[in-house]
Amino acid sequence: MRLDPRAPLVLDTRELGRRPGSQRRMTFEEPAPADLGIEVLRVPEGSPVRFELRLEAVMEGVLVTGTAEAELEGECVRCLEPVHDEIVVDFQELFAYEDSDTAATSDEEDDEARRMEGDLLDLEPLLRDAVVLTLPFQPLCQDDCPGLCPDCGARLADDPGHQHDEPIDPRWAALLEHQHDQQDQQQDQQHG
Ligand SMILES: [Zn+2]
Ligand SMILES: [Zn+2]
């Protein structure tokens, strides 16, 4: 599949002229692609992602260094309250020229070295990897979120003194029933 030069996250590096040492700084904003993040925390599709990048031509390709900033939305894993946050991810990645030997002969760990297509490079897979690596996998609405009441599901952070009039724990229920029986017996004796 060839890259589309008009795609929002595809950069054209022609200006660098493949001259090692030539550089270009770029600051731009693009809408977030779909499915950026993990199930419980993601960058909303279409929300702005702000990039600040430096592209630098090196022998084997183009080195991309910089940051991307984006909004996050998700759910607290303890109480399911919506979580809103921001993320800043750092990049430093070499995109090898298509015809570069360096990347082709690199060891197995580097097998997935990113490649350019002609003068084009695609930031999207780089952005995806960086975002997923940076996200907390257990988002919380607050660090000490007490979660939900195990009996009724109420959010304990909203109601810290949360209690139930009728204890629902079966051991308590049994104890209460026993007390009621004793009261009944006492009443019977009084009437008798
Ligand atoms: Zn929470
Ligand atoms: Zn409760």
Would you list the DSSP string of 25-90? EEEEEEEPPTTEEETTEEEPTTSEEEEEEEEEE-SSEEEEEEEEEEEEEEE-TTT--EEEEEEEEE
Q: 164: pLDDT confidence band, cut at 50, 70 and 90?
A: confident
**pLDDT for 163:** 83
Identify which ligand lies nearest to the alpha carbon of 141: 1
Distance 146 CA to ligand 2 centre (A): 12
Structure tokens that stand for 27 in this block: 């600051």
Distance 150 CA to ligand 2 centre (A): 6
Q: 119: pLDDT confidence band, cut at 50, 70 and 90?
A: very high
Distance 82 CA to ligand 1 centre (A): 8
Whether residue 143 has pLDDT greater than 60: yes
Q: What is the pTM of this model?
A: 0.75
Whether residue 54 has pLDDT greater than 70: yes
Whether residue 148 has pLDDT greater than 90: yes
The vertex-53 CA angle with 123 and 107, nearest 5°, equals 55
Distance 138 CA to ligand 1 centre (A): 11
Q: What confidence tens digit (pLDDT) does each residue in 78-118 have?
A: 999 999 999 999 999 999 998 876 644 445 455 567 999 99
Identify which ligand lies nearest to the alpha carbon of 164: 2
Lowest-pLDDT range, 95-99, 142-146, 159-163, 179-183? 179-183
Q: What confidence tens digit (pLDDT) does each residue in 13-39 have?
A: 999 999 999 999 999 999 999 999 998
Lowest-pLDDT range, 16-20, 44-48, 72-76, 107-111? 107-111
Distance 152 CA to ligand 2 centre (A): 4
Per cent of the chain over pLDDT 70 is 79
State which H helix or E strand residue 175 sits in: helix 170-191
Distance 85 CA to ligand 1 centre (A): 14
Distance 142 CA to ligand 2 centre (A): 20
Distance 138 CA to ligand 2 centre (A): 23
